[in-house]
Amino acid sequence: MPRKSKAYSVLSDAALGSLLQLGGRLKEARLRRNWTQALTAEKAGLSESSVKKVESGSPHVSVAAYLALFDVYGLPTVLDRVLAPGSDTLGEALARGDLRQRAREPRVSADEWEL
């Protein structure tokens, strides 16, 4: 996929591919319901162009647009499974018993300060 803008340059090819696949699956969900893009947009409270962008996998669409489509397709809690406990095995292995509430920059010791 050609890199056209900043949104494309900050996302990996894998992430862009994932968006493309998700858009395709959302299009399939719409077609299974025999809905037009215009009807779907009306039900979701979106513009027809936003539905087209989501279905094409564009990174220029807000997460809220995806959530609106999930909602009208009867899947309002589908994102609850993203990074759910048990799915982030690398992160869980790194944390092992030391779950932090937030990440912080390492402190600079006094002998590392430049004067």
Domain range list for the chain: 6-95
Whose structure tokens read 């092992």? 96
Non-local CB neighbours of 43 within 8 Å, separated by 6+ positions: 35, 72
pTM beyond 0.85: no
Q: How far is Cα 111 from Cα 6, in angstroms, rounded to an integer?
A: 40
Q: Which of 7, 108, 15, 110 is nearest to 62 (CA)?
A: 7
pLDDT in tens, 9-68: 788 999 999 999 999 999 999 999 999 999 999 999 999 999 999 999 999 999 999 999
Non-local CB neighbours of 65 within 8 Å, separated by 6+ positions: 44, 46, 50, 51, 53, 54
Backbone angles phi, psi at 34, to 5 degrees: 60, 40
**Class of the CATH-defined domain 6-95:** mainly alpha
